[in-house]
Amino acid sequence: MSEFTEDPYAPELGSFEDLPQNPQAGNDEDTVNKTGTTTVGIAVEDGVVIATDMRASLGGRFVSNKNVQKVEQIHPTGALTLVGSVGGAQSFIRTLRSEVDLYEARRGEDISIDALATLAGNFARGGPFMAIHPILGGVDDEGSHVYSIDPAGGVMKDDYTVTGSGMQLAYGVLEGSYEEGLSMDEASTLAARAVYAATERDTGSGNGVYLALVTDEGVDITGYDDFDDVL
Amino acid sequence: MQGQNQQQAYDRGITIFSPDGRLYQVEYAREAVKRGTASVGVRTADGVVLAADRHARSPLLERDSIEKIHKADDHVGIASAGHVADARKLIDLARRQAQVEQLRYGQQIGVESLTKEVTDYIQEYTQTGGARPFGVALLLGGIEDGEPRLFETDPSGTPYEWQAVAIGGDREEIQSFLEEEYTEEMDLESGIELALEALGSVSDEGLDASGVDIATVDVESEQFTSLTEDDVAERVDEFGLEGEDDE
């Protein structure tokens, strides 16, 4: 007979705990790719805008990739950013995608963004230390939502949120310019400006911007090497 | 399993189909359900009603110790028919799965999802060697996304959704009664009346309020509510369903 009750904190398919654990993994500054990163999420009436920079780095001293897409669709109307360890973030995204698909296949309706945030928080907390700090943004029957999910599983909802090494710089822009009732276009420009400020002064962020526009229609992700295209 | 009489072997082990494709042990488990007293579920526009016959075989038995209707979570109730001990195991599973949904997703479990958790579990006992099927049927009634839902589970592990349904002894008769009398426009109070009448329809002596258990989950509160014996007595009286000989 199967287990009477599944572990609510573990992924249903695969297991974070069962992954081969390299004692050096996550600590090796010279070989583990980090995103550094500035990721910005803004929730407005018509949807959610997410902006991310495009740089990956090694040891905070070397740019290991100049064309990274750090926002991925994980839900028909939801996206997650990659922040922190690239391997940890990619594994996290694969797991959440399969959970979202399984939920829909079984129940005939998409998981709500609130429930997905709770699930993501459980995984971040219940598994090994994945060294990630993503933003979850999405649209459901309740409206538009932006959450930050911290490495210890803390889940916080806000109208706008920033994570990554450039967060203070991006927040400086948002605190000066954010106002209620922004349109999707205005929010896109503001999010890009926030990432731009971070790329100018944070060594972990740079090389352009990806914008994800999430509405009840779906997720549209576009990359821009040149900030002039979006500011 | 290798008995001297090969022809009987397929009704000894549940993992064995008979030559005509039947699982005898599962069918015997359905008979076990019929040996239990009846339970009825009625879905109305503004809530679900669960009612169960729990008459005592001895006046010395404490009525409250006969468990037929259970709260699974704030918004879901479960009525059973058949083996009470088997029912308790499944109800505990349902209660735990309801909490797993809260822990995992931070939300209330849907009645359909909860039913399928239970039926998937029941199904394992129709296919696993060395086990016997559950000799119990359940009715799960509750509110999901603001809508009343009513499901049945049987010993094969098949989920069914109903507008109104009876399980247990006299199922066919009570079901025919429900099919005659049920209308979709019923409110909760009419649902309670229909459920009581349905249970009473197979009794020559009428209904004894202390022998009937009723619970509702209404759309407005989304809360499982058990009626007190006085509440039941009041309605039995109001609907003229009490026995004529001893009351």
Looking at residue A1, what is its pLDDT?
Answer: 47
Q: Domain tally for chain A? A: 1
Check CB contact under 8 Å for B104 and A5: no
Identify the band that residue A101 occupies on the pLDDT scale cut at 50, 70 and 90. very high
Domain boundaries, chain B: 6-237
pLDDT category of residue A35 using cuts at 50, 70 and 90: confident
Range of A92's domain? Answer: 33-229
Assigned token pair, A145: 């939502």
Q: Which residues of A touch B128 (CB under 8 A)?
A: 1
Residue B21 to chain A, least CA–CA distance (Å)? 24
Cα–Cα dist A14/B225, whole Å: 40
What CATH code is assigned to B6-237? 3.60.20.10
pLDDT of residue B247: 41
Give every CB contact of residue B86 below 8 A, 6+ residues apart in sequence. Answer: B134, B135, B136
Q: Which of A190, A211, A169 is nearest to A53 (CA)?
A: A211
Residue A26 falls inside a structural domain = no
Query: Could you read off the pLDDT of A131-189 as tens digits, one per residue?
Result: 899 999 999 999 999 999 999 999 999 999 999 999 999 999 999 999 999 999 999 99
Within-domain flag for A222: yes
**What are the tokens at B216?**
């509702």
Residues of chain A with Cβ-Cβ distance to B113 below 8 Å are: 106-107
- Name the pairing type of β-strands A160-163 and A209-215: unpaired
Write out the catalytic residue numbers of A.
Answer: 37
Kindly state the helix (H) or strand (E) to which residue B76 belongs, with its residue range.
strand B76-82
Least confident of A4-8, A19-23, B45-49, B127-131: A19-23
Q: From edge to edge, which strands make up the β-sheet containing A33-34?
A: A33-34, A56-58, A62-65
Residue segments in chain B with a per-residue pLDDT below the cut of 50: 1, 3, 245-247
Cβ–Cβ gap B107/A112 under 8 Å: yes
**Is A216 within a domain?**
yes
